Amino acid sequence: MPRLARSLAVGLLLHVSIAIGAAAEVYRWTDAEGREHYAGALSQVPSEKRAEALDSTRREAPSRLQSFETPAGRLSPAHVVRRTGVLRIPYEQHGNAILVYVRLNDRVTAPFYVDTGAADVVVPAAVAARAGVIVSADTPRESYGTANGMIRQAVVRLDAVEVGEARVENVRGSVSQSLPVGLLGTSFFNHFTLQIDPAARMLTLIQNPDMRGGASAAQWSERFRALRERQARLEAYLEDGTLTSEARASALAARRDELAAELEALEDEANRADVPAAWRE
């Protein structure tokens, strides 16, 4: 099975954009206990509920693509990302796009398109809310390039992202106010070598030993180096004694405390990802 080449990323992102507009139908039905269910294919709907599900696609806008139950029910018990062996995950073909069911924060399961051109796991706002992801005015935002231009989205940390037996914790994500279907990006896939078998409609994930927490040794080292360099520059400035005012000195001292807290948080993140000490130098 061929390894997914990085050069396919841009083309895949375009295909995903097309598929979202043209192939992402959602079928909704209510069971005997009044619980709502969603599916990405009519074959996943109980036969006695298909008329209701078909009617729902005519009555509801695509933005109703929100909380899903997987066709097979709850996913397998959690596995840590360090699990060895080859993980095989079936997928659905939606036009030119690959769709899998993703469980977020052990709380909600929803369909996501595989997109190695996306840096983050991009979560639709409604799905993020059901997963317990809180977005406020203080949540950091970053700019992202899409097929429709630049947009700004909230950047969040997902407690867990689980696809089949593949589970990654503490995953960087972003929250989209416009996408009806999420994108499973490289903040998840960087933990693995990804292979695709179109004939079997199967993803194969093999643990990537050169990555921790979705980043390489060089990337971790650069994060620590840049943060410590900022600390060193600030300390040198404070020790120089050329500050012009007490207020300025107080502000810089507060910034020093902030940098210390950032370094501590980075150490905690590295600990959770099993980052070796040599990668932190």
Read off the pTM.
Answer: 0.56
Residues 57 and 76 in one domain: no
Residue 148 lies in a domain: yes
Structural domain ending residue among the three candidates 166, 183, 209:
209
Residues 153 and 174 in one domain: yes
Q: How many angstroms separate the most distant Cα atoms in the chain? A: 79
Name the nearest CA neighbour of 196 among 100, 103, 73.
100
Domain tally for the chain? 3
Answer yes or no: is 258 within a domain: yes
Residues 145 and 124 in one domain: yes
How confident is the model at residue 215, as a pLDDT? Answer: 76
What is the rounded distance in angstroms from the CA atom of residue 164 to the CA atom of residue 108?
14
- CATH of residue 140's domain is 2.40.70.10
Structural domain contains residue 263: yes
Q: Both 174 and 124 in a single domain?
A: yes
Q: Are residues 242 and 252 in the same domain?
A: yes
Q: Which two tokens stand for residue 97?
A: 């796009």
Range of the domain at 269: 215-280
Check whether residue 203 and residue 219 sit in a common domain: no
Give 196's pLDDT tier (boundaries 50, 70, 90): very high
The answer to whether position 160 is within a domain reads: yes
Q: How confident is the model at residue 85 (pLDDT cuts 50, 70, 90)?
A: low
CA angle 39, 44, 45 (to 5 degrees): 80
Report the C-alpha gap between 157 and 251 in whole angstroms: 28
Tell whether 237 is covered by a domain.
yes
Residue with tokens 């360099």: 229
Shared domain check, 234 and 146: no
| Same domain? 138 vs 238 | no
Q: Is residue 1 part of a domain?
A: no
- Tell me, what amino acid is at 132? G
pLDDT given at position 28? 60
Q: In sequence order, what are the residues at sequence separation of 6 or more whose Cβ sits closer than 8 angstroms to the Cβ of residue 40? A: 24, 25, 26, 27, 68, 92, 94, 99, 111
Q: Which two tokens stand for residue 241?
A: 């004694």
In this predicted structure, which of 52-61, 95-104, 178-187, 254-263 has the lowest mean pLDDT? 52-61
- Mean pLDDT, residues 6-19 taken together: 37
Q: Are residues 59 and 92 in the same domain?
A: no
Q: Quick one: which of 3, 206, 26 has its CA closest to 110? A: 26
Residue-wise pLDDT for 123-182, tens only, equals 999 999 999 999 998 888 888 776 667 878 999 999 999 999 899 888 989 999 888 999
Residue range 206-229: mean pLDDT, rounded: 83
If you compute the radius of gyration of the chain from its CA atoms, what whole number of angstroms results? Answer: 22
Query: Does residue 276 lie in a domain region?
Result: yes
Do residues 36 and 144 make contact, with C-beta atoms less than 8 angstroms apart? no
Unique residue bearing structure tokens 């097309």: 18
Please tell me whether residues 236 and 199 are part of one structural domain.
no
Residue 199, both tokens: 């004939």
CA distance 187 to 190: 6
Residue 32 shares a structural domain with residue 45 = yes
Whether residue 12 is contained in a domain is answered as yes
Q: What is the pLDDT at residue 86?
A: 84
Same domain, 122 and 194: yes
Which of 75-89, 124-138, 205-219, 236-250 is modeled with the greatest confidence? 124-138
